[in-house]
Amino acid sequence: MRWRRVDLQRVIGERFGVVYHERTVGKLLKALGFFHVSARRRHPGQDARTIEAFKKTSRPR
């Protein structure tokens, strides 16, 4: 599940009765060591069959 600042803002308000601005929630998260992570984009020309073939022939980590 993906948590957005606005979702955390609502949960903080419900659980603790404290109202923070969405931007303040972001600052608090940063102070706690959290940071924004986004998924890597996929190239539009990427072929799913080629990827699966590579996974089968490559060494496991």
User: Is residue 16 assigned to a domain?
Assistant: yes
User: Is residue 57 assigned to a domain?
Assistant: no
30-39 CB burial, b ≥16 within 10 A, e <16? eeeeeeeeee
User: Is residue 10 assigned to a domain?
Assistant: yes
Q: Which residues contact 29 (CB under 8 A, 6 or more apart)?
A: 5, 8, 35
pTM higher than 0.85, yes or no?
A: no
- One pLDDT digit (tens) per residue for the chain, 61 residues: 678 999 999 999 999 999 999 999 999 999 999 988 877 787 878 888 888 888 877 676 6
> Do residues 25 and 9 touch, judged by C-beta distance below 8 A?
yes
> Which domain does 16 fall in, by range?
1-36
User: Is residue 8 assigned to a domain?
Assistant: yes
User: Is residue 5 assigned to a domain?
Assistant: yes
User: Is residue 48 assigned to a domain?
Assistant: no
Domains: count for the chain: 1
